[in-house]
């Protein structure tokens, strides 16, 4: 019986997505249902970014096909370069991780529909404000509203941090790191 109190999706970093992929030997990909359903398409990335670890897994979009490890590496690199959020998804009974959606704020229902539920990731940002230059690069990359520029200074609302790590990837002075989230 599924535990409906646990959301299907949770947020992770691209590094965590790579680690999940290393623990599997076979992969399938399908088009993202959000990208297919959005009449304007996606301005951020390719359409086929829903990665699955089982051929029996259902897909939200069309075009499901088996892919190679090199194809997976290409998807992960695009996710990193296009600043997509890794959202691993659980099986219906929530007992296993069945795959990873790579989402963006341009067309994905998760970011456009405030009622969509997703768990925060296992990690949270830690910013060394003494090293921060307040350039705003991380604020522009944050899809969750955890990082904002106010009167030329960076503010961080850690309660809004979902642990995607996009801020780490864009910080030019390396003052942000991901740490284990504590209860």
pTM metric for this prediction: 0.89
- Structure token digits, residue 122: 């296992």
Judge residue 131's burial from the number of C-beta atoms within 10 Å of its C-beta, 0-12 exposed, 13-18 middle, 19 or more buried: exposed
* Domain boundaries 123-180, corresponding CATH code: 3.30.70.20
Which residues of the chain are modeled with pLDDT < 50?
A: 1
What are 13-48's pLDDT values in tens digits? Answer: 999 999 999 999 999 999 988 888 877 778 888 889
The domain spans of the chain are 14-112, 123-180
Q: Which two tokens stand for residue 160?
A: 């809004």
Distance CA 163, CA 182 (A): 12
Contact at 8 Å (CB) between 87 and 102? yes
Mean confidence (pLDDT) of the chain: 90
């Amino acid at each position: 019986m599924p535990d409906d109190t646990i959301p299907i999706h949770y947020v992770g970093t691209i590094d965590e997505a790579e680690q999940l992929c290393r623990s599997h030997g076979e992969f399938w990909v399908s088009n993202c249902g959000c990208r297919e359903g959005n009449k304007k398409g996606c301005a951020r990335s390719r359409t086929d970014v829903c990665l699955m670890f089982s051929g029996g897994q259902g897909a939200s979009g069309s075009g499901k096909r088996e892919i190679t490890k090199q194809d997976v590496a290409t998807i992960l690199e695009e996710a990193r370069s296009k600043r997509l959020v890794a959202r691993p998804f659980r099986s219906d009974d929530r007992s296993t991780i069945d795959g990873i959606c790579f989402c963006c704020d341009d067309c994905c229902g998760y970011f456009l529909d405030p009622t969509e539920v997703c768990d925060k990731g296992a990690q949270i940002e830690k910013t060394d404000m003494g090293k921060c230059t307040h350039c705003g690069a991380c604020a522009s990359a944050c899809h969750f509203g955890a990082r904002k520029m106010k009167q030329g200074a960076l503010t961080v609302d850690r309660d809004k941090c979902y642990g995607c790590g996009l801020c780490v990837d864009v910080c030019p002075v390396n003052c942000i790191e991901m740490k284990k989230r504590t209860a």
